[in-house]
Structure 1
Amino acid sequence: MTFDPKIELHLHLEGAAPPEFVGRLADEKKMRLDGVFNEAGSYDYKDFEGFLQVYERATEVLKTPEDYARLTRAVLEHSVEQGVIYTEAFLSPDFCGGRDLTAWREYMHAMQEAAGAVPGIEMRGIVTCIRHFGPDKARETARCAAETAGDFITGFGIGGNEGLFAPGDFVWAYDCAREAGLGLTAHAGEFGGPESVRSALDDLGVSRIGHGVRAVEDEALIDRLAEDGIVLEVCPGSNVALGVYANIAAHPIEKLRERGVKVTVSTDDPPFFHTTMREEYEALERTFGWDGEAFRQINRTAAEAAFCDDATRADLLARLEA
């Protein structure tokens, strides 16, 4: 079964860069990317820390606003092929001008213009600080987010190594983003356990959790997520590729859904994890027997949780029911 249209809430723009795109850009710039690709031409890493290192090495080829414009077009064109009509992409001023506000504006406008030129899909940006870069740099990132909040930049989040620093260390950055009217999300409960999710909720006040699947290990937390309507941006293929779960059958997305937790489905960093939105859906259908109504429901949930204006949300919901 093919279910279209789709809504994706958890996609890292740099992490969605096809290896051939990164390799071509490196050739143009005469840059060496030793250790980034394996012999088959795929991204080469063995564990989560290795993934982060390769990710950051690959982003080194992205030097200019035009590079990011080209990347945005390439990523969104692929998303359209997968039946995606709306996507929220994590964008990092850390990689776009070193958190300098003037430079960040140039990168942001380049990405926004490129996104508007791809037919069939809407994109919004979630400015994302990098956890392992520390709270001070996160403050600078939050200022970039707050100063450019608007029609395109609609959310704020945190990604990176969940094992470094605590959510409470980033309260200032989140308060800054909240005061600017941005939607709030946070990576938690991926490699960190249930306490990571609880801390993101208590300390940062987010309405969505990136991943969040380790919440399944705490019955009271499952109930809290369901009762409070917290939305999980679940990326099953990513969780399997990085070894959080052995295979899709062991993944807790179905248990969470059965318990009333609001779940959505995304690809995270698709070429790194050898997945696509269609492959994610096919795996869920094959493994858990999800049907058209199940997929309609997760996409309705995604539309309702999206960091967008009411008119865009109404349009997305109408298209899902068409």
Structure 2
Amino acid sequence: MIPKAEIHCHIEGAADPELVVAQARKYNVDVSDIIQDGAFVWNDFSEFLKCFDGAAALFRTSDDYALLSETYLTQLASTGCIYSEVFISTDHARMIGISERDYIDGLAEGMTQAKQKHGIEARMIATGLRHEGPESVLRAATYIAENPHPLVTGFGMGGDERMHHPKDLAPGFDVARDAGLAITTHAGEFGGADSVRDSLTYLKPSRIGHGVRAIEDPALVHELADKQIVLECCPGSNIALSVYDSFDEHPFMALRDAGVPVTLNSDDPPHFHTSLAREYDIAATEFGLNEDELRDITRTAIKAAFVDEDTRATLLTKIDA
């Protein structure tokens, strides 16, 4: 089994339908509008967001979040994953009525249990909500900066990248960076190459979430390769959301061949009928990567991971074990 690593996954979006249905029973909520025949149902991006929010709203306590993170990490470990980073949202926690601390502590407890039982290492990336504006991003960054947690090692931003210019969102990223958090951000998914370029200029990330539409600007591709900016690629998600119509059109291999560091990730796996294991299968069957090349993809993810150097060294030894 090829060792795998994932550095781009939204934790609420990782809850599979079976777990969501169990949570719905717990809270006596009807989820027949978002889950049918054991699968999430949606037809466009707006419906996906409704589906995502409906599922996420069923995790309401610290124990719920411990269950969510342990369940997901256990699933990953069973397919050979040695490391996972998940995006979290303290704004989401507040909106559902749970404190930021209880939210993070619950997720951390699940991560600790998964590591003890299955050996999988995990970290959290706090995020601001772009569509909520600069205040949301600054608030999220300030909370994490003032309330550090050993498993929260990065800061990023989710939400609609077509809203708010990165220059206006930079203050939050400056707070996070000054607090010692590593930086990533979503760009180049629904926004084009300019979204990636502006993010590099104003937010100064070491990684870009998605980033695939950088391919539309050859000079930008050269810059990404030259600076070794890692792309958190999510091919299955890109096809599900019609960023590209087919894997033949997907620029994963073109970016890789140009020297841009690329990784494989599942984004919101059950919503997009994918998993980290399937993303590695896509890379093998659709992109033609062999086992050694897939191990190199994992190695790229571990080298880009937001972890201390001792942990990184330990994880790297597992790839070739």
TM-score over 0.5 (shorter chain): yes
Q: How does 1:235-246 map to 2 (within 5 A)?
A: 235-246=234-245
Instruction: Report Cα offsets for 1:175-199 as digits up to 9, x if no partner.
Output: 1100110010000000100000001
Instruction: Determine whether 1:105 maps to 2:105.
Output: no
Instruction: Determine whether 1:86 maps to 2:106.
Output: no
Instruction: Determine whether 1:194 maps to 2:193.
Output: yes
Counterpart of 2:61? 64
Separation (CA, whole Å) in 2 of partners of 1:74 and 1:259:
37
Separation (CA, whole Å) in 1 of partners of 2:273 and 2:293:
24
Kept in 1: contact 2:61–2:102 (CA 8 A): no
Distance apart, 1:157 and its partner CA: 0.5
Runs of 4+ in 1 over 6 A off after TM superposition: none
Kept in 1: contact 2:65–2:106 (CA 8 A): yes
**Secondary structure of 1:97 counterpart:** helix
Separation (CA, whole Å) in 1 of partners of 2:147 and 2:65:
17
Separation (CA, whole Å) in 2 of partners of 1:277 and 1:95:
24
Distance apart, 1:33 and its partner CA: 3.0
**Secondary structure of 2:29 counterpart:** coil
Q: Bigger CA drift: 244-253 or 178-187? A: 244-253
- Shift in CA distance, 319/127, structure 1 to aligned 2, threshold 3 Å: same
Instruction: Report Cα offsets for 1:288-321 as digits up to 9, x if no partner.
Output: 2201121121111111110000000000111112
Kept in 2: contact 1:25–1:61 (CA 8 A): yes
Counterpart of 1:6? 4
Counterpart of 1:226? 225
Instruction: Determine whether 1:53 maps to 2:50.
Output: yes
Kept in 2: contact 1:208–1:231 (CA 8 A): yes
User: What amino acid sits opposite 1:12 in the alignment?
Assistant: H
Q: Bigger CA drift: 205-214 or 284-293? A: 284-293
Instruction: Determine whether 1:316 maps to 2:315.
Output: yes
Instruction: Report Cα offsets for 1:68-108 as digits up to 9, x if no partner.
Output: 111111111111112111100001111223499x9211221
Separation (CA, whole Å) in 1 of partners of 2:44 and 2:257:
31
Separation (CA, whole Å) in 1 of partners of 2:32 and 2:5:
35
Instruction: Determine whether 1:126 maps to 2:122.
Output: no
**Secondary structure of 1:233 counterpart:** strand
Instruction: Report Cα offsets for 1:45-69 as digits up to 9, x if no partner.
Output: 1122221222112211111111111
User: What amino acid sits opposite 2:310 in the alignment?
Assistant: A
User: What amino acid sits opposite 1:295 in the alignment?
Assistant: L
**Secondary structure of 2:90 counterpart:** coil
**Secondary structure of 1:86 counterpart:** strand
Separation (CA, whole Å) in 2 of partners of 1:54 and 1:162:
19
User: What amino acid sits opposite 1:278 in the alignment?
Assistant: A
Separation (CA, whole Å) in 1 of partners of 2:39 and 2:238:
18
Instruction: Determine whether 1:75 maps to 2:72.
Output: yes
Q: Percent identity?
A: 43
Separation (CA, whole Å) in 2 of partners of 1:98 and 1:315:
38
1:20 aligned to which of 8, 15, 18: 18
Separation (CA, whole Å) in 2 of partners of 1:34 and 1:203:
43
Q: Bigger CA drift: 51-60 or 240-249? A: 51-60
Kept in 2: contact 1:99–1:140 (CA 8 A): no
Separation (CA, whole Å) in 1 of partners of 2:7 and 2:156:
12
Kept in 1: contact 2:57–2:96 (CA 8 A): no
Separation (CA, whole Å) in 1 of partners of 2:180 and 2:26:
40
Separation (CA, whole Å) in 2 of partners of 1:143 and 1:36:
34
Counterpart of 1:301? 300
Kept in 1: contact 2:2–2:294 (CA 8 A): no
Counterpart of 1:263? 262
Kept in 2: contact 1:99–1:141 (CA 8 A): no
**Secondary structure of 1:117 counterpart:** helix
Please report the TM-score for the alignment, with normalisation by the length of structure 2.
0.95
**Secondary structure of 1:316 counterpart:** helix
Kept in 2: contact 1:99–1:144 (CA 8 A): no
Kept in 2: contact 1:97–1:107 (CA 8 A): no
Separation (CA, whole Å) in 1 of partners of 2:221 and 2:64:
42
**Secondary structure of 1:243 counterpart:** coil
Please, what is the CA RMSD of the aligned residues?
1.5
Instruction: Determine whether 1:169 maps to 2:165.
Output: no
Consecutive unaligned residues of structure 2, counting only runs of 5 or more, are none
Distance apart, 1:23 and its partner CA: 1.4
Separation (CA, whole Å) in 1 of partners of 2:47 and 2:212:
22
User: What amino acid sits opposite 2:61 in the alignment?
Assistant: T
Counterpart of 1:291? 290
